Structure 1
Amino acid sequence: MIIILYTIIIGLSVKIPIIANNEQTSRNLFYHVPMWIAMYTQFTISVVASVMYLASNDLKKDIWASSAGSIGVFFGLLGFATGSLWATYTWGGTLTDDPKQISTALAILIYLAYLVLRLSFNDLDKRARVSAIFNIFAFALLIPLTYIIPRMVDSLHPGSTSSPGFSKNDTDGTMMRVFYPAMIGWALFSVWLYSLRVRYKKIALKKIIHA
């Protein structure tokens, strides 16, 4: 929490370089990208837990997978929202036909489908097995959709073939001194939320088993 408070306070007050037409909206780098890092952290935990479940049939692993999946979707939506807000001021529209925005929206929809899929089963073991398999395919699509493909095509988003990133404009490293702690802080915050979710779902599972 201390790291997050640091990035929020310093991120809003530190002097940053003016990069292209971003003006002061460049400060969103301290919040938008760390949300994605938190999302990647949770989806990685989720897919590892799904693989572990398939290997053991232990419902606790399914709890790990579903808990991380739901927290990952939460941060994915936050990342998409902050990115869309940024696009409103720099791209001229909240929702555009930019490849990065389209592909990330598709990735989040796939994980939303994972959560909906879980609601389609009453049998705990069947739900865990089917959703675990779906989760593996969802993760296999996550990196290409949100990272690889957007970097291979022309996009308004920084980091694409036609739009360089911010690092070369941050000559004195001011932004990076806030950016890197922000990534660590939000990732750790997501893990804390994940641990709370796991505890809650374990209690719910015990009630179902002993009902």
Structure 2
Amino acid sequence: MYKSWWKILGAVLVTYSTIAGFLASVPPLPILHQSIRNLYFHVPMWFSMIILFSISVVHSIKYLSSNQQDDDLKSVQSINAGIVFGILGIITGAVWARFTWGQAWSFDVKQNFAAIALLLYFAYLVLRNAIDEEQKRAKISAIYNIFAFPMMVVLLFVLPRLSDSLHPGNGGNPGFNAYDLDSHMRMVFYPACLGWILIGCWIYSILFRVSSLEKNKQI
């Protein structure tokens, strides 16, 4: 039980932030109105994705130095989990955009770059499936992943800031800070971020254990 404390904590935080996200009061802001509640779901999805991709690139580096098969499995399964959260991030963002910008996909610069960043990791999975030889697949995938990660960072955090965007914090728009993220929202937003990150790591650990068992059966 003591080894699973972080899983319990993740489940508690997600349950709390979900209930509070729908029921707790939010500041009366123009344009956003009640849709600002999506902040508790949309942003944590992206944070979870980035953490999982970070875990993946660490294991890719470890694989190139150790050639341990477990590092390759951990790398690919953290990407599988990260992609799920990336898709959820795009879906929740599209729903939010529909109610605040008037359409689900307005080809906003950050929307476009986020989609491209996610496609980089879909390409990673395609690359793995195209190579049959196990060690060659693991090595090439690790090298690709090491280059894909900084590209993802640039696409999500650097390029959008160089042009106008409807997203908060870009193109002169104020970010979610003292302007609209009051103390009551922080009490829900921060636990939501931590909770979803822990759930993402839990999902990744389950995927790794399943793939490891399947691997052992084949030997």
- Normalised TM-score (structure 1): 0.96
Residue matched to 1:118:
128
- Mapped partners of 2:162, 2:99: distance in 1: 24
Structure 1: gaps (5+ residues):
none
Picking from 9, 15, 20, the partner of 2:30 is: 20
Q: Is contact 1:35–1:76 with CA below 8 Å preserved after alignment?
A: yes
Q: Percent identity?
A: 43
8 Å Cα contact 1:22/1:90 also seen in 2: yes
Deviation string, structure 1 residues 36-82 (Cα, Å, up to 9, x no partner): 11101100000000000001111110001000010001100100110
Q: 2:83 aligns to what? A: 73
CA distance in 1, matches of 2:124, 2:168: 29
- In the alignment, the residues of structure 1 paired with residue 162 and residue 29 of structure 2 have an alpha-carbon distance, to the nearest angstrom, of 22
Cα displacement (A) at 1:171:
6.6
**CA deviations over 1:78-136 (Å, ceiling 9, x no partner):** 00110011111111111112100000000001111111111112211011001111111
State yes or no: 1:9 paired with 2:19: yes
Correspondence 1:55-94 to 2 at 5 A: 55-94=65-104
Who is 1:108 aligned against?
Answer: 118
Q: Would the alpha carbon gap of residues 192 and 13 (structure 1) be closer, same or farther in structure 2, given more than 3 Å must change?
A: same
1:131–1:171 CA distance, 2 compared to 1 (3 A): closer
Residue from 142, 145, 153 that aligns with 1:135:
145
Alpha-carbon shift at residue 152 of structure 1 (Å) = 2.8
Q: Provide the secondary structure at the position in 2 that maps to 1:122.
A: coil
Runs (4+) off by over 6 Å: none
Decide which moves more: 106-115 or 157-166.
157-166
SS at match of 1:167: coil
Aligned residues of 1:156 and 1:162 also touching (Cα < 8 A): no
Aligned length: 209
Q: Cα deviations across residues 172-200 of structure 1 (Å, max 9, x unaligned)?
A: 41111110000000000001001100100
CA distance in 2, matches of 1:57, 1:166: 43
**1:89 and 1:121 mapped to 2: Cα distance?**
43
Does the 8 Å CA contact 1:19/1:166 hold for their aligned counterparts? no
Structure 2 stretches lacking a partner, 5+ long? 1-10
Which amino acid in the other structure matches residue 187 of structure 2? R
In structure 2, the partner of 1:199 is: 209
Query: Cα gap change, 1:87/1:171 in structure 2, threshold over 3 Å: closer, same or farther?
Result: closer
**Structure 2 counterpart SS, 1:174:** helix
State the alpha-carbon separation in 1 of the partners of residues 28 and 108 from structure 2: 23
The AA in structure 2 aligned to 1:99 is: V
Contact 1:39 1:76 in 2 (8 A): yes
TM-score, with length taken from structure 2: 0.92
Q: 1:34 aligned to 2:34? A: no
Q: CA RMSD in A?
A: 1.1
Identify which range, 85-94 or 64-73, moves more after superposition.
85-94
**Does residue 1:158 correspond to 2:136, yes or no?**
no
